[in-house]
Amino acid sequence: MVTRPYIVEQHLVVLLVKLAFAASVASLLVRFDAFKRTLLKEDRTLFERLMLAASFSAVFGGGVAVRVLTGGYKAADMGLEGCLLAGVVGGYVTGLSSGVLIALPAMFSGELLTMPLFAGVGVLGGLVRDSAPDQEEVWRLSPFLDLTLFRVVRHWSDHRRTLFHLFFLIVILAVEFLRLTGYRIFSGAAIFAFYPTDPNAHPGHWISVWVATMFAVMIPLKIWSNSRTEQKLVDQQRLLQETRLRALTSQINPHFLFNTLNSITALVRTNPESARGVIQKLSNILRRLLRRYENFSTLREELSFIDDYLSIEMVRFGDKLRFVKEVDPALLDALVPSMMLQPIIENSLKHGLSSKVDGGMIRLRVWPSEGRLNLLVEDDGVGIPESHLANLFHQGIGVSNVNERLKVLFGADYKMWIDSKAGEGTRTGIEIPLKVPDLARAS
């Protein structure tokens, strides 16, 4: 003979398993990128709504089918909760479509009241969605009744928000009441419900079913809300990085142009013909800058840019400036951050060689090493005083700008260092991941 305590424990275990199943289903759905992208949208196309309905139907309808085919596993049947969630998340079309599809396994087993109930609950979920003060309010609902009541009291001045939270709780209870009514009228023949069969069962058994239904609706909403929040934070971080990169690029371009115009100004009085040539070369550089919107360019393009820039500076320095490149031809298609080398070479010219009477040499070396790209710019200029070397990344525009851009683009996956000795010169090294564009895909 089965004792009543055993029946009570079995009843509660099934309800707890149901809540675990609700959390598992919500976590499973959010693992699919298509579902996650759709969650982030508030205005969806008809196709997206139907695809959302298909997602709900596959998971929650599958749970109904498991219960029907096995005759057990009652905790897997979350059809009613799934229809309400579909309507709340996706609107009327998603709720109605999900209600019809989720009910199919139960309809085939003779539970004829299931489809009209599920379809109506799905539409009711769409009504809940439309009644929200704003669409984001749906995701602020809490599975804890005490917190919801606290918000109701605290934000009573915001009547629409307060009434919406109350309305949603009432809807969940009303939906469960409809299922209970159908279950009692038809004795479970036309619709499934997990209620005590003993008419003398403790009222707590009935209350536990209603509480489980409320949590089975709220828990998936909270999981999906957290996923949306995480995805939004990722998107905001990406937009912040893109904005920061644009700001850094817009900072370095005027800096470069200002110094180049100073070079032209120095030539206008002494050598007008050379000044005209420099202006022509500057126009070529400007065209390249105006065409460059990407954060990366090939090493070949960067070297071409450096050649144009140095051809302007060599007009001012004459034979006193020498530039040597030691670059593996196989690396010319490697991707590097745009405008990365020019500020470093400009620093070598401005701070290292400009004060030397006999000029000097700048050497650029590029080589690969274990999946990394190494770039080294060295000059034989006057060097940097040791007192200034420690704060070099935090002063000026050129070097600090390059370091900040590398930090945004690569995070911790890069190295940049500067070594200098007074009277001997300066060496600036950069190490970044070696990336080559997929030429086959690009073609």
Domains and their CATH numbers in the chain:
4-233 (no CATH), 271-442 (3.30.565.10)
Alpha carbon distance 14, 74 (integer Å): 7
Between the two ends of the chain, the Cα-to-Cα distance in Å is: 76
Cα dihedral across residues 349, 355, 361, 366: positive or negative = negative
- Within 10 angstroms of residue 193's Cβ, the number of other Cβ atoms is 17
Q: Look up residue 145 and give its two tokens.
A: 């009744």
Cβ neighbours of residue 276 closer than 8 Å, sequence gap 6 or more? none
Tell me the DSSP string of 395-422: STTHHHHHHHHHHHHHTTS-EEEEEEET
| pLDDT tens sequence across 239-262 | 666 655 555 555 545 656 776 777
| pLDDT tens sequence across 162-193 | 788 888 888 998 999 998 888 888 876 788 88
Alpha carbon distance 81, 118 (integer Å): 9
Q: Look up residue 282 and give its two tokens.
A: 């500057």
For 155, the 3-state DSSP assignment is coil
Alpha carbon distance 278, 267 (integer Å): 9
- Within 10 angstroms of residue 263's Cβ, the number of other Cβ atoms is 17
Closest Cα partner for 289 from 307, 302, 277, 280?
A: 302
Residue 440 confidence (pLDDT): 34
Alpha carbon distance 222, 229 (integer Å): 10
Alpha carbon distance 61, 114 (integer Å): 12
pTM over 0.85: no
Q: Look up residue 24 and give its two tokens.
A: 């598992």
Strands (E), 85-150: none
Alpha carbon distance 366, 326 (integer Å): 6
Residue 299 confidence (pLDDT): 92
Alpha carbon distance 95, 56 (integer Å): 9
Alpha carbon distance 180, 193 (integer Å): 7
Closest Cα partner for 14 from 58, 67, 82, 65?
A: 67
Cα dihedral across residues 204, 102, 66, 187: positive or negative = positive
8 Å CB contact between 175 and 79? no
Token look-up 């029946």 returns 7
Alpha carbon distance 16, 14 (integer Å): 5
Closest Cα partner for 129 from 215, 42, 210, 26?
A: 42
Which uninterrupted H or E stretch holds 360?
strand 360-369
Token look-up 């949208």 returns 41
What single-letter amino acid sits at 248?
L
pLDDT in tens, the chain (443 residues): 444 554 556 667 778 888 888 888 888 888 888 888 888 777 788 898 999 999 999 999 999 999 898 877 888 889 999 999 999 999 999 999 999 999 999 999 889 999 999 999 999 999 999 988 887 788 877 656 555 556 556 655 566 777 888 888 889 989 999 988 888 888 767 888 877 665 566 666 778 888 888 889 989 998 998 888 888 777 766 666 665 555 555 554 565 677 677 777 877 777 777 777 778 777 777 776 665 556 788 899 889 888 888 887 776 676 778 889 999 889 999 999 887 888 888 888 877 787 776 778 899 999 999 889 999 999 888 887 776 776 677 665 677 778 888 888 888 899 998 888 887 888 999 999 998 875 333 33
Alpha carbon distance 97, 119 (integer Å): 7
Residue 110 is given by DSSP the state T
8 Å CB contact between 179 and 80? yes
Which residue(s) pair with 421 in the sheet? 425
What single-letter amino acid sits at 183?
Y
Q: Look up residue 14 and give its two tokens.
A: 């099934």
Alpha carbon distance 157, 83 (integer Å): 32
Q: Look up residue 396 and give its two tokens.
A: 């000026």
- Within 10 angstroms of residue 144's Cβ, the number of other Cβ atoms is 12
Checking 182-185 for CB contacts under 8 A at 24+ apart, the result is 182/113, 182/117
Q: Look up residue 270 and give its two tokens.
A: 């002494």
